[in-house]
Structure 1
Amino acid sequence: MLTVHHLNLSRSQRVLWALEELELPYQIVRYQREPTMLAPEALKKVHPLGKSPVLEDEGTVLAESGAILEYLQETRDPEQKLKPSDPQARIQYRFWLHYAEGSLMPMLLMKLVFGSLGKPPVPIGIRTVGKLLGKGVQKAYLNKQLATHAAFIESHLAQNPWFAGETLSMADIQMSYPALALLARGEQGEMPHLTAWKKRVEMRPAWQRAIQQGGPLDFPGT
């Protein structure tokens, strides 16, 4: 039996979605974030990094969303439902699998951190300076970078209904967390193509089942 160590309001929602798309049986071990929004120490008993998601499969313990999704596709997807067969689509598939955490998510995390420098748990004595620093970095660098990423994603989805082409793939599942976080921030103006992609995702029964299993998906700092 596959076991998902699932943290609320986290990227582990992607693993639940993948499992539902593949119609695989699994069990969930649930964890709640601390008041600081950090993962609880209990997760370190499962994997040394103490992060979620973690997948257990008959003694094999895997961390990192992308690695887990690729593992599931390679070991539990004999019909290749979630990996395109077209060579050009596979290039896109590989790119978006890595882009999600390698390029887009770091920008969103930096936005979250710098947007929080004027708030607890930052010590009260330096919050004013922290707020000014955070706003400065966002204005000078982060906002421009995120605008570039938003335009890039919009341009791609203007020509493709899914990230790897004509059909849903693990690339969409991997992109779901940062793409939805980008939309939730609402700072990039209208993104009609990404919004249309979001609607296609939310119409999928597997997505709906994953939300029922994992709980509402929300994004800190939005």
Structure 2
Amino acid sequence: MIKLHHLNKSRSKRIIWLLEELGVNYSIIEYQRDSQTFLAPPELKAIHPLGKSPVIEDDGLIIAESGAITEYLINKYSNGQLAPEKSTTDEVEYSQWIHFAESSAILPLLLKMFVNKDGCDTNFLADYADTETFKVISYFNDSLADKRYLVADKLTGADIMMSFIVELVANSGQLANFPHISAYAKQLATHPAFQRAENIELGN
């Protein structure tokens, strides 16, 4: 059975969604953030030296990093679903979105979040975070024009990875400014496995 080390209010919620979509047997080991620092508890370091989540255990392997986990699970368990056909242009685009989620997209959003949380005046960082956030989210929004999903007109791991970016945009109160992302968010929410993951995250 797959074990998912899951931290509340973290990127690991999308791994719950993926596991639900795959229909595999799994268990969740839950961790709670510190109420003051909002950091992960030290117990996670017993699983992986960085003490981050998500981490999965499967067949003796310990795998960290959301993109790597997503690719591993889809390659092993999806039976050709949740990914485009191999050696196609769709596969190339799929791979780009998988990695975009945890590289170009996430960095400015996290910078913006940290600047806001810190509350201090900055000489450079706040304006940089604002500019880069608008750039990457506008790119994401424009890429969804006339699309239900990012690649191949079907749900793939790219959508599951990018769902966390959608959540951050929504939590920032900016979703209405990006109509294609807003429509995309509603489309993702139609999936029963997405809804089950939401309920699991909320403890329902």
Aligned residue number for residue 194 of structure 2: 207
Aligned residue number for residue 121 of structure 1: none
Aligned residue number for residue 5 of structure 1: 5
**Letter of the 2:19 counterpart:** L
Aligned residue number for residue 29 of structure 1: 29
* Partner Cα distance (2:46, 2:22) in 1: 28
1:72-102: per-residue Cα shift (whole Å, max 9, x none)? 0111112x11001271221210110000011
* Deviation at residue 179 of structure 1 after TM alignment: 2.3
Q: Does 1:154 align with 2:154?
A: no
Deviates more, 1:151-160 or 1:179-188: 179-188
Structure 1 stretches lacking a partner, 5+ long = 119-130, 217-222
* Deviation at residue 188 of structure 1 after TM alignment: 7.0
Q: Does 1:81 align with 2:81?
A: yes
Q: Does 1:18 align with 2:7?
A: no
Aligned residue number for residue 137 of structure 1: 125
Aligned residue number for residue 101 of structure 2: 100
Normalised to the residue count of structure 2, the TM-score between the two structures is 0.93
Aligned residue number for residue 56 of structure 1: 57
Q: How many residues align?
A: 201
* Partner Cα distance (1:207, 1:150) in 2: 22
Q: Sequence identity of aligned pairs in percent?
A: 38
* Partner Cα distance (1:211, 1:103) in 2: 25
* Partner Cα distance (1:146, 1:63) in 2: 26
**Letter of the 2:125 counterpart:** V
Aligned residue number for residue 163 of structure 1: 150
Q: Residue 118 of structure 2: SS of its match in structure 1?
A: coil
Deviates more, 1:188-197 or 1:102-111: 188-197
**Letter of the 2:91 counterpart:** R
- Does the 8 A contact of 1:147 with 1:188 survive in 2? no
Q: Residue 102 of structure 1: SS of its match in structure 2?
A: coil
* Partner Cα distance (1:189, 1:144) in 2: 18
- Does the 8 A contact of 1:105 with 1:178 survive in 2? yes
Normalised to the residue count of structure 1, the TM-score between the two structures is 0.85
Q: Residue 70 of structure 2: SS of its match in structure 1?
A: helix
**Letter of the 1:32 counterpart:** Q
* Deviation at residue 189 of structure 1 after TM alignment: 5.4
**Letter of the 2:32 counterpart:** Q
Superposition misfits of 4+ residues, deviation over 4 angstroms? none
Aligned residue number for residue 122 of structure 1: none
* Partner Cα distance (1:185, 1:200) in 2: 20
* Partner Cα distance (2:95, 2:109) in 1: 21
Q: Residue 160 of structure 1: SS of its match in structure 2?
A: coil
Deviates more, 1:180-189 or 1:155-164: 180-189
Structure 2 stretches lacking a partner, 5+ long = none
- Does the 8 A contact of 1:8 with 1:214 survive in 2? yes
* Partner Cα distance (2:83, 2:142) in 1: 22
Aligned residue number for residue 38 of structure 1: 39
